[in-house]
Structure 1
Amino acid sequence: MHKSIDRLLYWSAGIMAAMALFAIMWLTVVDVVGRKFFDHSVPGGLELTEILMVVVIFAALPLVSWRSEHVVFDTLDAFIPDWLRGLQARLIHLVCAGVFAFLGRLMVMRAERFAEYGDTTVHLALSIAPVAWLMAVLLVLTGIAHLLLFFIGAPATGHTHHAPEGSA
């Protein structure tokens, strides 16, 4: 089950984040070349970059949480008994699951408001609601990842890197 969830997150959230980052790279190249040689930047380039950065950050959250690749303060771990460390890890995953679920709920409310008011970006007039909905889904997915880690008793500090079979 652990490997199949890892593979699913890799091929969904991980690839989504990678594609958004790749798009930012090419958008930046085209924008710089356009400014340098044609005296024109990409119209709405900043707005597109901002949206793509949201995708990079929020799509990475579930995968980083599932693999426990986030920043960790483990200075005191040497002084904590193993049995307490396991309990601490479960508590951390439970708190994280609750926080991400709460943030997901807040983002759902924000997305509904964006949709209701018809909020758009300034230059390109792109609807903001779908971006907020994507953020909400990815926050909830991150919460679910922590909830699953709570139930399987995974350590909150994973110093190993998991890669699905067939990936480089």
Structure 2
Amino acid sequence: MPDNPLLPMIAQVFDQMPFNRLLGLKVTRFAEDSVEVCFNWSEQLIGNPLQQILHGGVISSVLDVAGGIMAVSSALGRLTDVAPEQLFARLGKMSTIDIRTDYLRPGRGELFIATARVIRSGNKVAVCRMELHNEQGKHIALGTGTYLVG
């Protein structure tokens, strides 16, 4: 089954969100079953200046973005022919209900990669599983997000 033609539009919306740009997030891979969001180390993202590690809020936010993209994709997966205005109207109604973040080790690295996949998607709610790794493959955090999609 070919990827949904809406995926590039969804990725572009997330890439252009001001907060995502502030964090330096970029959607680097996006398919119907998974997403990858990357960002580079920056001193502005430090949470503990003594240890020089990522702020926990940055980690949780990045996991939320990755999960949100997958939730949106799952909700719009059946649509293939929709005008951009309709897509943006639907996106505006979708939001995070709950997110849980488990911090596994300090956020150290030069490049960080968040991935997500859908665990369950219904008419109103989607649940996603997210992970954050550094460029060395060290598992920094994992999360579970619940998203309003309908």
What TM-score, normalized to structure 1?
A: 0.28
The structure whose RCO (Cα within 8 Å, separation 6+) is larger is 1
Which is higher, the Rg of structure 1 or of structure 2?
1
- Structure with the larger strand share: 2
- Structure with the larger helix share: 1
What TM-score, normalized to structure 2?
A: 0.31
